[in-house]
Structure 1
Amino acid sequence: MKRRKLHIIVFVIAVLGLFIVQYQYLKIGLNLAKVQFNKNMGTAGQAIKKDLSEENELTFLIGKSLTKDDTYFNLSLDSVQSATGHFLNDFLIDRLAVNGIAADFSYQLFSRDSTDYLSSPVVFQKGDKLNSYPIALEGYLPGLMGKGLVLELQFKDINTYFLFQLNGLTIPSLIFIFAIIVVVIWVLRSFYWQGKLITTTNEFINNLTHELKTPVFSIGLATKILEDDLDGKHKPIVAIIRQQVERLKVHIDKVLELGSMENNKKVLVFEKVDFRPILQDLCDEFHTLGALEPLQFTYELEAGEYPLFAAVSHLENTIINLFENAKKYSENPIIHLRAKKVKNHLVISITDNGIGLSKKDQQRIFNKYYRVTQGNLHTVKGYGLGLHYVKHVVHSHKGKIKVESEIGSGTTISLLIPFRKNGKRI
């Protein structure tokens, strides 16, 4: 639960951070857009000022409107002034567009004594937030009127215009942020759903294995009672039943211990021990069993103590698991164990002449429930738990596992377990 809250907090902080960064970039973009707009307006203003300083068709028409002289036209003065306003508006649109400005605007042409002469066909309402850019005219028109004239351009909602200009950056950024949020939520949801499923599965397996222990115990007890009253002919059969019950008991205990390890429960009890005599006994027992089967087993143990801080029973089970695997995956098993001291580690290597492992299988054999297959067939019985258990035990001893193998040339699995020093692992 704490982990889940931590993940959610980190996710929220990350999303807020993304939005803050995006907001800062947006502010920088707006400031740059304003700077660029003012620069473009300066260039456009100079062009407008230059064109209106000379006598031409447009300035001639403006001059007639300013002086209210309709003798040159067959139209009324109001019509001349209206036409002049539209022509001037089209001229300004063109000059602004040439300099990269496409914002809505209005204009006023007035004298320095505040007399209005011409207004834009588009008039903004009072109270609108406007940005004004006055252009002091020179040349023909001020000379004609005998006083200074100012052409003032006004822009409404200039920030909205800037945002529109930045849409090519802001919209994709928001889309990507939204996509990231969706993906992260989906991943977290899948992660917690799988975690819940794994927890439920482990609980089911643990409950099932606990329930199996009772009938296994009862069968073991019954066979022990039967064994005392049977004749020599039936005793081997009962012995086989007891042997299989013991095997089933070992498998049940292995599943329970593995589930406890995965739930981080402390089921391993470590103690200071010289592991050499324990390993010697394991090798002698396996050698004796090998004499009863088509199996060749040899071993060599380097002299001296093997001082470990170990969970002895689990380390024993680990080596037995490796023995059993070497035997299962070899047709006429030839198995060799070698133990040696390398720097601060005990290295136990178990080599067989089995079918070998591909590079792909070498990376997966320690995964839970994974079993090596030949084609689409599982030719060897098992549950894919043995090597997963081995990995957990070795890692709990702060050790490492190395696999060397080639298809058809056998496999060597080496366990590297650190020695203890002053009662602790080195």
Structure 2
Amino acid sequence: MNKLFFRLLVILMSLSLIGIILVQVYWFDKSFENNEEQFKYHVKQVLGNVAEKLQKQEQYSYAEIYNHLKDSIGKAPQKSDFLEFGYYQRDSRTNEMIIYSNSINSEDYGISASFFDKKFDSIKLKNYTAKRKTEIYNGDIDNSGIKQTVSPDIKIEKSGRLDLLDNAEFEIFYKDIAAVKPIQERVSNEMMQKLLFEELNEYGVKTPFEFNVYSNGLATKIKSERFRYDKPSTYSIPIFIDNDGNNKYQLLLTFPQKKKFLFSELIGICILSIIFTLIIVIAYSSALNQLIKQRQISEIKTDFINNMTHEFKTPIATINLALDAIKNPKVIEDKEKVLRYLQMIKDENKRMHAQVENVLRISKLEKKELDITKESTNIHEIIEDAIEHVNLIVEDRNGKITTHFDASRTSVLLNDVHFTNVIVNILDNAIKYSPEEPIIDIQTENVKEFVIVKIKDQGSGMSKAAQKRIFEKFYREHTGDLHNVKGHGLGLAYVKRIVDDHNSEIFVESEKGKGSTFIIKVPLIN
């Protein structure tokens, strides 16, 4: 149940993290799309404004010429009425009549298109004025509906220019003239650059741009130096539309760094999003790592307790049996049996004491309370001393320890007691994990300024995963509920700490079912 809950928790946490990352990616993608749409809208507004300003500037330039010529001809215009209309309204209760009349007059200054361009001589420019008159009559009226009086009771007269007609005629006039002119005479590169720059700045589009004016699909000379057509980054609008509604010219505006600009607007919030996401990922990884470690520690602790229980169970049972035997009146009178049982109690007590010592040694090493004094020592003597400690156990199991002392230089700086324990622990490990008779081979050799000690057994070996963790405290390769191999996972942890304190190195090479080789690399005394 615990394993299932742990796996479910990991899966849910992983899915949540992936979901957060996907949401962040989706949000960024949508934000980028929104920025692109807003960018497109602003550019369209800019192009529309530029096209309108180009049209107005051209109109103003022709209007200035026209007004100058009109003011300088020095003669009165010819006037003619070309439209006149009116109506009257009578109130039967008050006998009041209102007559309204309106006439539109044209004033021809005699200015023809030839003043602007000799190609045009059929168009005349005129001004238009309107005269509006309102007359109110009171009293009797005759059959014709108009009162026979000298003058109306109230008379209102107004006159003024008809700008609408003036502007309409002038627009038609100048567009026909401008339509035949080449584009470079209608607008300059400098003017186009200035208009686009001002409008883009106005809308906050502050990124490099290039432009080109196309005529009927072909590029003209009105363009920027680095213009390159790129469909996703290019926008267009017709300019200088003629009287027939034809758009001969197209203004193309492109942005080489469009994506960079759009991304730059999101870079701040994007960086914060990435930072927070990374914090979540790191926190999640750390939490998951701690959960896995805690789970491993829990398993190791359980295994350690089981092994320690097994290690103490046998000696305690043996001691109890020996004590019960000694209490037997028949045995207590037999001095030889009593001494044998007492020796048995002593051996089992010594065995338990050794287990406790291993735990205490590791604890002292971690607290750096273990005093390790080093002296110049022959490493071969240390190895031989260690062999003596385990020789009886090896012989009891019909095993054999073979030595090949090939190292010619053997003086090293070490603590003889602790380093002897190192070799003893490795040998003990080799004996315990040899299902058959323990066959152990010890070899030494010199490599540069080091002496290499190789302790090889023909035992059960270990997996690759176990090799990576073999020197961890309390670690033992998982064997389920089997306790055929005694130990508590402290021996090799002690070995590693002692070797490290001697500025030395230890490695293990192993293959499952083919034994293991422990390699110790110790620096020589120069």
Instruction: Give the match's secondary structure for 2:336.
Output: coil
Structure-2 residue corresponding to 1:328: 432
Q: Does 1:395 align with 2:500?
A: yes
Q: Structure 1 residues 339, 288: CA separation in 2 closer, same or farther (over 3 Å shift)?
A: farther
1:389 counterpart letter in structure 2? Y
Instruction: Give the match's secondary structure for 2:371.
Output: coil
1:247 counterpart letter in structure 2? R
- What is the deviation of 1:253? 2.1
User: Residues 159-213 of structure 1, C-alpha deviation per residue, up to 9 Å, x if partnerless?
Assistant: xxxx998553222211122233455567789999999xx9xxx9xx9xxx9xx9x
Asked if the contact 2:377–2:411 (Cα under 8 Å) also holds between the matched residues in 1, the reply is yes
User: Residues 278-326 of structure 1, C-alpha deviation per residue, up to 9 Å, x if partnerless?
Assistant: 3223224433443233322222334756211112111111111111111
Inter-partner Cα distance in structure 1 for 2:161 and 2:485: 109
Q: Indicate which of 411, 419, 423 corresponds to 2:524.
A: 419
Q: Structure 1 residues 263, 192: CA separation in 2 closer, same or farther (over 3 Å shift)?
A: farther
User: Residues 203-248 of structure 1, C-alpha deviation per residue, up to 9 Å, x if partnerless?
Assistant: xx9xxx9xx9xxx9xx9xxx9xx9x998211322222221222222
Inter-partner Cα distance in structure 2 for 1:326 and 1:245: 24
Structure-2 residue corresponding to 1:381: 486
Q: Structure 1 residues 284, 188: CA separation in 2 closer, same or farther (over 3 Å shift)?
A: closer
Structure-2 residue corresponding to 1:14: none
Inter-partner Cα distance in structure 2 for 1:392 and 1:377: 28
Structure-2 residue corresponding to 1:306: 410
Q: Does 1:257 align with 2:361?
A: yes
2:400 counterpart letter in structure 1? Q
Q: Structure 1 residues 381, 355: CA separation in 2 closer, same or farther (over 3 Å shift)?
A: same
Inter-partner Cα distance in structure 2 for 1:359 and 1:164: 51
Inter-partner Cα distance in structure 1 for 2:277 and 2:356: 46
Instruction: Give the match's secondary structure for 1:272.
Output: strand
Bigger-Rg structure (1/2): 2
Instruction: Give the match's secondary structure for 2:337.
Output: coil
Inter-partner Cα distance in structure 2 for 1:289 and 1:165: 74
User: Residues 69-96 of structure 1, C-alpha deviation per residue, up to 9 Å, x if partnerless?
Assistant: 5877xxxxxxxxxxxxxxxxxxxxxx99
Q: Does 1:290 align with 2:398?
A: no
Structure-2 residue corresponding to 1:51: 55
Q: Does 1:171 align with 2:171?
A: no
Instruction: Give the match's secondary structure for 2:52.
Output: helix
More strand by share: 2
Q: Structure 1 residues 40, 376: CA separation in 2 closer, same or farther (over 3 Å shift)?
A: farther
Please tell me the root mean square deviation across aligned C-alpha atoms, in Å: 4.8
More helix by share: 1
2:477 counterpart letter in structure 1? V
Asked if the contact 2:510–2:517 (Cα under 8 Å) also holds between the matched residues in 1, the reply is yes
Structure-1 residue corresponding to 2:459: 354
Q: Does 1:281 align with 2:369?
A: no
Inter-partner Cα distance in structure 2 for 1:46 and 1:182: 49
Inter-partner Cα distance in structure 1 for 2:473 and 2:355: 15
TM-score by length of 2: 0.43
Inter-partner Cα distance in structure 2 for 1:71 and 1:316: 115
Identity of aligned residues (%): 28
Instruction: Give the match's secondary structure for 1:251.
Output: helix
Query: Which one is further off, 361-370 or 282-291?
Result: 282-291
Asked if the contact 1:287–1:298 (Cα under 8 Å) also holds between the matched residues in 2, the reply is no
Instruction: Give the match's secondary structure for 2:445.
Output: strand
Asked if the contact 2:504–2:521 (Cα under 8 Å) also holds between the matched residues in 1, the reply is yes
Asked if the contact 2:455–2:517 (Cα under 8 Å) also holds between the matched residues in 1, the reply is yes
Inter-partner Cα distance in structure 1 for 2:487 and 2:433: 11
User: Residues 73-128 of structure 1, C-alpha deviation per residue, up to 9 Å, x if partnerless?
Assistant: xxxxxxxxxxxxxxxxxxxxxx99xx878959xxxxxxxxxxxxxxxxxxxxxxxx
- What is the deviation of 1:379? 4.0
Asked if the contact 2:505–2:521 (Cα under 8 Å) also holds between the matched residues in 1, the reply is yes
Asked if the contact 2:398–2:438 (Cα under 8 Å) also holds between the matched residues in 1, the reply is yes
Asked if the contact 2:382–2:419 (Cα under 8 Å) also holds between the matched residues in 1, the reply is no
Asked if the contact 1:349–1:412 (Cα under 8 Å) also holds between the matched residues in 2, the reply is yes
Asked if the contact 1:283–1:299 (Cα under 8 Å) also holds between the matched residues in 2, the reply is no
2:495 counterpart letter in structure 1? V
Inter-partner Cα distance in structure 2 for 1:307 and 1:357: 32
1:366 counterpart letter in structure 2? F
In the alignment, structure 2 segments of 5+ residues that lack a partner are: 1-41, 64-159, 166-194, 205-239, 241-260, 327-331
Query: Which one is further off, 369-378 or 185-194?
Result: 185-194
Aligned length: 276
